Structure 1
Amino acid sequence: MGLAPATRQRPTDRKPPPRRSFWGSTVGKKTVMAVSGLILLGYLVAHVVGNLKVFFGPEEFNAYGHWLRTMGAPVLHREWALWLVRIVLLAAVVAHAVSAYQLSGLDRRARPVAYAHKKRRASYATRTMRWGGIIVALFIVWHILDLTTLTVNENAEPGRPYENVVATFSTWYGNVIYLTAMAAVGLHVRHGFWSAAQTLGIGSARRDRALKTLANGLALVLTAGFVAVPVAVMTGVVG
């Protein structure tokens, strides 16, 4: 009984799956989120340093506010550099928020079944990142209306940032809004800095403890620096 002839396999018509774009991949979204987050972190560091100038009196703080509008002069026209900074920050905020939202959606689709023990899923900071981000986003809108456009600052004086800061923190609601937002910022920085380091390949088993310590210290210093201003106004140190 002879052997059956070998069957010839037909070449498959299947095409290889299309390669995802950088943004379309999870790694790409995490990278965008990490880089945009570090840009915003750099701004927070510069912002808190500027805020602390309020302790040197109205003349120096108002001069700092004037410099922000004229930096880059005479090469750049008045406020051009400031608007460039604003555009970069807006792009970073949008990129950060969109990547966070899409990554959250990917995570929900990957795990349609709820965790049996939610407490084991992540740390407190991780579980509050979403709400913390929403709080910070709402605060940014209020902060602009309060100290940039002066829309909600009843006692605002255009061109007098020192007096406007004092006016804001002389109200109970201004302090509540600001202190709540700064607590959310601290938690966001604490978790976000360490996550960004992991995403960008800076973290490792050997550096893990040092990075977490640095993240905790950075979050603490930034939060304390921002909180110092309203506390100083409330206690009469600044006013």
Structure 2
Amino acid sequence: MGHNLLAVGTPAVPGVFQGRKVPCVATNTLPAKRTGKAGSTIFLKTLMAGSGIFFVLFVLGHMYGNLKLLVGESAFNEYAHHLRTIGEPMLPHRGALILAEVLLVLALVAHVYSAVKLWQRSGKARSQRYAVKKSGVGGIEGISAPTMRWGGLFLLLFVVFHLIQFTLPKVNFDGGTTENPYRLVHDSFQLWWVALIYVLAMVALGMHLMHGIWSASQTLGLTGTPSARKNAKLVSHAVAAIVVIGFLIPPLAILFGII
């Protein structure tokens, strides 16, 4: 054999062989299989971040509407009625609300799909487990990260329960009216077990938002500097706290007879 030949599979690194320079030679190493753009991890993370931001905006708007319970029956029912008449007469009755619901369903499908795919990929990546201590994540973030998936599943089940109770078919567990939005909500949160489910769901939502907003900030490249990371963490904590407190004030006020 000629002395300038390299063994198959050896690294393609130039060097010296028996006093002569050996050129860089391509190896037989095959490139890793590449997935399509729609199946890439970056795309899935971006899809999850985008749909998550949409949900954050919706949650903040929903929280604002719920706080009208504190103003009184007339104010809350007027708000509920207005949601069904937005855009009239250009849009049919409930037209804008139906459009918003369709967008929410699409965002939910995108969020759950990307979450499941990323979950599956992370599971495959951990097929060989190593006893390596995680660093850089502590405090509440360290708690919220491992519970992100199961907390998300609990929130999904809560959304189904919430829709059955207040949207379709509307169930008043206290036996009262279902046509008066204020009375339906007020009657529901007078029941301790309904209020407890709501409290648990809001705690899960807060944990989900805290970790989700931080992760979305990383995905969108908003944590490139120490100050940016600090701001992202501050925003994630602030939004989670505002949402949890804002959503819990009305049901607890009803449960304890304040309103």
Q: Is 1:25 paired with 2:37?
A: no
Partner of 2:190: 170
**1:134-149 correspondence runs (5 A):** 134-149=153-168
Q: Aligned letter for 2:156? A: A
Match of 2:180 among 132, 141, 160: 160
SS in 1 for 2:145: helix
Partner of 1:186: 206
Cα distance between partner residues in 1 of 2:121 and 2:185:
41
Match of 2:253 among 228, 232, 237: 232
8 Å Cα contact 1:150-1:156 kept in structure 2: no
Q: Aligned letter for 2:207? A: L
TM-fit CA distance, 1:116:
2.4
SS in 1 for 2:38: coil
Q: Aligned letter for 1:142? A: F
Cα distance between partner residues in 1 of 2:76 and 2:162:
18
**1:11-90 correspondence runs (5 A):** 20-90=35-105
8 Å Cα contact 1:32-1:96 kept in structure 2: yes
Match of 2:116 among 84, 101, 110: 101
Q: Aligned letter for 2:162? A: H
SS in 1 for 2:37: coil
Q: Aligned letter for 1:199? A: T
Cα distance between partner residues in 2 of 1:208 and 1:16:
34
Q: Percent identity?
A: 37
Structure 1: unaligned runs, 5 residues or longer: 7-13
Partner of 1:10: none
Q: Is 1:202 paired with 2:222?
A: yes
SS in 1 for 2:221: coil
Cα distance between partner residues in 2 of 1:25 and 1:161:
44
Structure 2: unaligned runs, 5 residues or longer: 6-28
Give the greater-gyration-radius structure (CA): 2
